[in-house]
Amino acid sequence: MSINMEKAPGAVKMVPMKIRMAPTSVARMLVVLAAASLASGIAGAETLTVEQRPVADEKAVFATVESISVVPARGRIGGTVVDLKVREGDHVTSGQAIASIGDEKLVLQMKSLDAQIEALHAQSNQAQIDFSRIEGLVERGIMPRVKLDEARTSLNVAENGLRAKTAERAVVNQQLSEGQVLAPSDGRVLKKLVAVGSVVLPGDPIATIAQQNFKLRLRVPERHARFLKAGDRVRIDGAELGQQAAKWGVIDLVYPQVEEGRVVADAIVEGLGEYFVGDRLRVWISGGQRSAFVIPASFVKTRFGIDHVQLSQAGGVIDVPVQRGRDMPTPELPDGLEILSGIRAGDQLVRQ
Q: Over the stretch 331-346, which tens digit does the pLDDT of each residue have?
A: 778 788 888 888 888 8
Residue 92 sits in a domain of what CATH number? 2.40.50.100
Mapping DSSP to helix (H, G, I), strand (E, B) and coil, where does residue 236 land? strand
**pLDDT band at residue 60, thresholds of 50, 70 and 90?**
confident
Domain shared by 241 and 308, yes or no: yes
Strand 205-211 versus strand 199-200 pairing type: unpaired
For 113-135, the pLDDT digits (tens) are 889 999 998 988 988 988 888 88
User: What pLDDT score was predicted for residue 248?
Assistant: 82
Does residue 268 sit in the same domain as residue 149?
no
Q: How does DSSP assign 172-220, residue by residue?
A: HHHHHHTTEEE-SSSEEEEEE---TT-EE-TT-EEEEEEES-EEEEEEE
Say whether both 236 and 333 belong to one domain.
yes
* Per-residue confidence (pLDDT) for residue 236, from 0 to 100: 83
Query: Which pLDDT score is estimated for 17?
Result: 41
The pLDDT tens digits for 138-154 are 888 888 888 888 888 98
Considering the chain, what is the average pLDDT of its residues?
Answer: 79
Number of domains in the chain: 3
What residues pair up with 341 in beta bridges, in sequence order?
323
Q: Are residues 97 and 123 in the same domain?
A: no
The range of the structural domain enclosing residue 93 comes to 78-101+179-196
- CA-CA distances (angstroms) from residue 238 to 251, 282, 329, 332, 334? 19, 10, 11, 16, 11
What end-to-end distance do the CA atoms of the chain give, in Å? 63
pLDDT band at 275 (very low <50, low <70, confident <90, very high): low
Q: Which of 140, 168, 196 is the last residue of a domain?
A: 196
Asked if the model's pLDDT at residue 78 lies above 70, the reply is: yes
DSSP bridge pairs for 191: 208
Max mean pLDDT range (38-42, 91-95, 256-260, 275-279): 91-95
Residue 166 lies in a domain: yes
Q: If pLDDT is split at 50, 70 and 90, which confidence band does 13 have?
A: very low
Same domain, 245 and 295: yes
* Of 286, 282, 250, nearest in space to 268 by CA: 250
Same domain, 153 and 129: yes
What secondary structure letter does DSSP report for 344? -
Judged by DSSP in three states, 37 sits in: helix
CA distances from 74 to 104, 192, 195, 203, 204 (A): 20, 11, 14, 5, 5
Task: Categorize the per-residue pLDDT at 74 as very low, low, confident or very high, splitting at 50, 70 and 90.
Answer: very high
In a shared domain, residues 244 and 296: yes
Whether residue 12 lies inside any domain: the answer is no
Shared-domain flag, residues 333 and 256? yes
